Amino acid sequence: MTIVSDILLTTLNAKHIHCAFGLRYLVANLGDLRGRSHIAEFNINQRSLEIAEAILSYQPKIIGMGVYIWNAVQTLNLLEDLKRLRPELIVILGGPEVSHEMDQQRIVQLADYVITGEADLAFAELCRKLLAGDRPSQKIISAPLPDFSQLVLPYDLYTEEDLAHRVIYVEASRGCPFECEFCLSSLDVPVRAVPIGAFLSAMQSLLDRGARQFKFVDRTFNLNARFASAILEFFLDRYEPGLFVHFEMIPDRLPVSLRELIGRFPAGALQFEVGIQTFNEDVAARISRRQDNSKAEENLSWLRTETGVHIHVDLIVGLPGEDLESFGAGFDRLVRLRPQEIQVGILKRLRGTPIKRHDTEWRMVYSPQPPYEILQNGNLDFFNMQRMRRFARYWDLVANSGNFVETAAMILADGSPFQNFLAFSDWLYAQAARTHEIARARLAGYLFCYLTEQRKILPLAVKSALERDAKRARSQKLLLELPKRQGRHLAGLVGST
Shortest CA distance to 170 belongs to which of 108, 213, 134, 209? 213
**Residue 342 maps to which CATH number?**
3.80.30.20
Q: Digits of tens for pLDDT over the chain (497 positions)?
A: 568 999 999 999 999 999 999 999 999 999 999 999 999 999 999 999 999 999 999 999 999 999 999 999 999 999 999 999 999 999 999 999 999 999 989 999 999 999 999 999 999 999 999 999 999 999 999 999 998 999 999 999 999 999 999 999 999 999 888 889 999 876 766 889 999 999 999 999 999 999 999 999 999 899 999 999 999 999 999 999 999 999 999 999 999 999 999 999 999 999 999 999 999 999 999 999 999 999 999 999 999 999 999 999 999 999 999 999 999 999 999 999 999 999 999 999 999 999 999 999 999 999 999 999 999 999 999 999 999 999 999 999 999 999 999 999 999 999 999 999 999 999 999 999 999 999 999 999 999 999 999 999 999 999 999 999 999 887 544 555 666 555 433 443 433 32
* Claim to verify: residue 182 and residue 299 sit in the same structural domain: yes
Distances (CA, A) of 89 to 53, 81, 130: 14, 12, 11
Interior CA angle at 346 toward 244 and 312, to 5°?
A: 20
Asked, for residue 197, whether it belongs to a domain, the answer is yes
β-pair type (374-376, 365-366): antiparallel
* Domains of the chain: total: 3
Which domain does 474 fall in, by range? Answer: 414-497
Q: What is the Cα–Cα distance from 290 to 23, expressed in whole angstroms?
A: 33
Q: What is the Cα–Cα distance from 430 to 432, expressed in whole angstroms?
A: 6
Q: What is the Cα–Cα distance from 338 to 341, expressed in whole angstroms?
A: 8
299 Cβ contact partners less than 8 Å away, ≥ 6 residues apart: 251, 252, 253, 254
Tell me how long the chain is.
Answer: 497
* Claim to verify: residue 125 and residue 32 sit in the same structural domain: yes
* Claim to verify: residue 30 and residue 124 sit in the same structural domain: yes
Among 146, 178, 198, the domain boundary falls at 146
In this structure, what are the phi and psi dihedrals at residue 393, rounded to the nearest 5 degrees?
-65, -45
What value does the CA radius of gyration of the chain take, rounded to a whole number of Å? Answer: 25
Total-model pTM: 0.91
Helices (H), 183-238: 196-208, 225-237
**Residue 21 maps to which CATH number?**
3.40.50.2300
121 Cβ contact partners less than 8 Å away, ≥ 6 residues apart: 29, 143, 144, 146, 150, 151
